[in-house]
Amino acid sequence: MLAEFVMDSRKKDKLLCSQLPVADFLQSFMVNEDTAQGLASEDTSRKMAAEAKEQWKELKATYQEHVEAITSGLKQALPLMEEARLKQAKLQGALEQLQAKKQVAMETQRAAQQQWQLQQEMHVQHVAEIRDRQRETQQEVERLYQDLGSLMSQAEQERDKLHRHQAFLQLLCNLQNQMLPEAEAERQPPQ
């Protein structure tokens, strides 16, 4: 785009520069013609034409120097512009890759956060279930302790009964043992 602009400007400058000396010459000629009104000789006109031609050559040389400076500047600038364009394209590609990586990282982070939240919810639910089971187990243990207490009191009562029955049985055995020798003595004939 810059090269086209410079080439277009160069054409316009060239056209203007080629017309300026002629216009200048004509103006100078008209001014001198008006003042001299026919007094100027053919030599003076030739001399003025030669001066105008010299000025035109100087302008043309200056113009040519400027054109060459612009051309050499363009020759140096165009590779730099191309290099800058390539660097810009590389940077744009790198930026797009970074944005894609950033997007992937954000999605990964979002997924990890959702996974973490899900795990936290499952953990909370698991802890609640464990507490419920612990509460139920505690209630069951308390109920079993109550049952054990009642069974122990029943066992104590049964032990008391057993001790009473054993004592009674012992008493009966003692009585029977005492009665047996007397009964045997009564059964045995006297000698």
Amino acid occupying residue 72: S
Render 23-85 in DSSP notation, one character per residue: HHHHHHHHHHHHHHTT-S-HHHHHHHHHHHHHHHHHHHHHHHHHHHHHHHHHHHHHHHHHHHH
Q: What is the pTM of this model?
A: 0.38
The whole-number pLDDT of residue 110 equals 94
Structure confidence at residue 105 (pLDDT)? 95
Domain boundary assignment for the chain: 2-99, 116-148
Residues 6+ apart with CB under 8 A from 67: 10, 13, 14
Residue among 22, 84, 75, 82 at smallest CA distance from 52: 22
pLDDT digits (tens, 9 = 90+) for 2-59: 778 777 888 887 877 777 777 777 778 777 765 655 555 667 777 877 888 888 888 8
Does the pLDDT of residue 70 top 90, yes or no?
no
* Joined tokens for residue 81: 């512009």
